[in-house]
Amino acid sequence: NAGVMQNPRHLVRRRGQEARLRCSPMKGHSHVYWYRQLPEEGLKFMVYLQKENIIDESGMPKERFSAEFPKEGPSILRIQQVVRGDSAAYFCASSPQQGLETQYFGPGTRLLVL
Amino acid sequence: QKEVEQNSGPLSVPEGAIASLNCTYSDRGSQSFFWYRQYSGKSPELIMFIYSNGDKEDGRFTAQLNKASQYVSLLIRDSQPSDSATYLCASLTGNQFYFGTGTSLTVIP
């Protein structure tokens, strides 16, 4: 029973490039959450998605960031024209239903912007 | 004002002692509360959740919720060196989880 999968685990980008982070939820889970964790800081909610729908993106920066969760395939967090301040760990979590106790985290993608 | 606040620590306890971790939240509409453990460089792992006033026990862990005081705590009995990690408190309010910045715990052998 595979857990939440994220890839890549580490990603290095130069300023101005695009970063694409992928998340495959646990089998049977249709709800996906993306979080960002900066060094010495807590997890910050970014976006909550269900298949083909963005439910809540109030934590997403207004520019350069977007997320999708298509009918087929993984959820993708896309960061365009990355800047050094985007360097962080990005975690995906999935649950079979909204919230509650069954939110499981993936291993994270560590993004480094040079 | 932050939604969820934790004492960042570090908190050190000797092996076998009780570790007490505390958390306060600002939104009375918060429905549920969670404790996660995060080892350095790893992802958060769920330890417990609680949504009713009072205590909830699971093995060596006890979560306590006091909605009147907007206070959540986690007690770890018989602390082990393997419990050394950062403990994150989180609340669920509407669609969103709000996480505290975490408390670093070190259990000294």
Q: Taking 70 as the threshold, does the pLDDT of residue B39 lie above it?
A: yes
pLDDT of residue B4: 92
Chosen for mutation from B2, B43, B95 (greatest number of chain A CBs closer than 10 Å) is: B43
pLDDT of residue B108: 96
pLDDT of residue A95: 86
Radius of gyration of chain A (CA): 13
pLDDT of residue B59: 96
Q: Residue B93's closest CA among A56, A36, A27, A32?
A: A56
**pLDDT tens-digit map of A73-90:** 999 999 999 999 999 999
What the block records as the tokens of A50 is 């269900």
How many angstroms separate the CA atoms of A30 and A22, rounded? 15
Mean pLDDT of B37-63: 93
Strands B85-93 and B96-99: antiparallel
Q: Taking 90 as the threshold, does the pLDDT of residue B92 lie above it?
A: no
* DSSP 8-state code for residue B67: T
CA distance A94 to chain B (A): 12
Q: Taking 70 as the threshold, does the pLDDT of residue B62 lie above it?
A: yes
**Cβ-nearest to A56 among B32, B95, B102:** B95
Q: Taking 70 as the threshold, does the pLDDT of residue B75 lie above it?
A: yes
